[in-house]
Chain A
Amino acid sequence: MDFTEDQILRYSRHIILPEVGGKGQAKIAAAKVFLVGAGGLGSPVGYFLTAAGVGRLAIIDDDHVELSNLQRQIAHSTKTLGMPKVQSAKETFNALNPDVEVIALKQRLTRDNILELIEDYDIVVDGSDNFPTRYLVNDACVLASKPLVSGAILRFEGQVTTILPRQGHCYRCLFEEMPPPGLVPSCQEAGVLGVLPGIVGGLQAMEVLKWILGKGELLTETLLIIDALKTTFRKVKVPKNPQCPVCGENPTITELLDYNAVYCGVG
């Protein structure tokens, strides 16, 4: 790929890294990333991947920007209150780096549209804030064999894991079924310290870049657990489960389900 003089300046701190170089930057520029959610996690993921110069970034979310989002959702601002989150994020990201084609999808992700939506993308990032979407995205990525970087946050705890379908574990190898709604924190219990999604989303964006570059070790068959109060990062091994209902040897989930339980999100 031929870089313009501006691109050479913009990406110079990538280019001088032996693990990236011009060739690695060209891989980043050719990558197409599908981002689920434009909230607490989606904001930093989209921000850093836009800064890094991915080729195309699609963001799906059907919410609007609210004042209570701005304590952590850094793609939005007081000026974009009331605007669809994907539109607000697109404006922020376009201002940061016009090289990146940002596609704003203001709609719900469902069992009927997800496979078609992710088809043209290289990798999926889950920044959603609820279990039905997390399981929908996991099952769709396994069925479509798409790499998936999953992140979750609650209060002071964050989790990140990278799923390479069939090579490693999937989310259902880790937690086979969605927790029943009663076990999930209610709205008034579901606070989150505003910086935590930045840390978790930053780690998700880092996983995406390493996957694109083919460098380093990914969080495959590993769950990274971050405790922000104690400032600890703990890696837990998550072996692939041969009896997993979606990625195991005899899967019982061979098409997408109805993921309609109602939860309260904190994303």
Chain B
Amino acid sequence: MEDLIPNKRIDIRGLHCPYTFVKSKLAIEAMNVGEVLEIVLDYPEASVSIPKSMQDHGHRVLKVDKVNEKDWILLIRKERE
């Protein structure tokens, strides 16, 4: 899992709900099934709500990491159109 290379990366630091999810959703919609999206964010609530919403939409959450004082990195694999 450590050396998984994402197919796309978005940096949504500075954004709040619901735009954190809007941006993440638009990014994953534009990808192919099986590809992995990396999301860098600093809005604490989104570190919980984005993985939940992505799961609700049928995608797989591979990683939710708090990487420093403020930032999280999520890895989401697109599982369906």
Contacts and interface: CB of A to CB of B under 8 A. Distances in A.
Contacts of A8: 19, 22-23, 26
A16 B30 contact: no
A21 B25 contact: yes
Contacts of A16: 18, 21-22, 25, 53
Interface string B35-63: 00000000000000000010011000000
A117 interface: no
A12 B19 CA distance: 7
Interface string A5-40: 000110011011010011100000000000000000
Nearest to B53: A16
Interface residues of B, number: 12
Given A8-B19, A12-B19, A16-B18, A3 B26 contact: yes
Nearest to B56: A18
Interface string B5-39: 00000000000001101110110011000000000
B22 to A, nearest CB: 5
B33 to A, nearest CB: 14
A13 B19 CA distance: 10
Task: Indicate the member of B21, B25, B26 with the most A CB atoms within 10 Å.
Answer: B26
